[in-house]
Amino acid sequence: MRTVSLEQPSSGPAAPFDPTLGLAARPKAGNRSGNRRERPRPSPSRGDDAARDAGGPKFTVLATAEGLIGGRTATGMIIQKWTEGCALPDRSALNRRTRVVYKKNGRSSGAPVHDVGPWNTRDPYWRKSGGRPQAESGRDLTGRRTNRAGIDLMNGTWYKLLGLRSYDKRLIESTTGTVTWWFE
């Protein structure tokens, strides 16, 4: 164990004590805004390369925006406007990491699973060979009408996939589109 001396080399009897002397400055993380997350940078990567390199099954489904800014996710996190992540319809996916590719422009983004949804909470369609989300049928497991989405993306993830230069909540939360996703 390395000991750090807090004593300042003396340059005479009047040298003031410096409590930071000998302590290495800790580099700051990229977050300059306290607890708030900085806005994500648009992903320069194109999804076709990422999809080709990934192992495991891939699912091409309709994606919608989760929205719910200020709401709490199934993992207990409070959703901020820059939060990156997604919701899949079974608790077994929570805290896993996914890669999502927006088919319209080929952009990709990593998205941790923070929530359960969009419609069902017990539909692990990714466990079935050739699995499809039950919500695609137009009704969820309780009979409610669905928007046929198989994944909900949080606003920070849509921001990256759309390649936006500024935050536009109305555009992000009204966007739906086909994505291909898989577990990383």
Query: For residue 123, what pLDDT is reported?
Result: 95
Domains identified in the chain and CATH numbers? 47-183 (2.40.40.10)
- pLDDT band of 32, cuts 50, 70, 90: very low
Distances (CA, A) of 89 to 60, 82, 106: 15, 22, 24
Q: Could you report the per-residue pLDDT of 106-120, keeping only the tens digit for each? A: 999 999 999 999 989
- pLDDT band of 31, cuts 50, 70, 90: very low
Give the whole-angstrom CA distance, residue 49 versus residue 126.
22
- Taking only Cα atoms into account, the Rg of the chain, rounded to an integer number of angstroms, comes to 23
- pLDDT band of 129, cuts 50, 70, 90: confident
Q: Which residue has the higher pLDDT, 16 or 85?
A: 85
C-beta atoms surrounding 19 within 10 Å: 8
Does the model's pTM come out above 0.85?
Answer: no
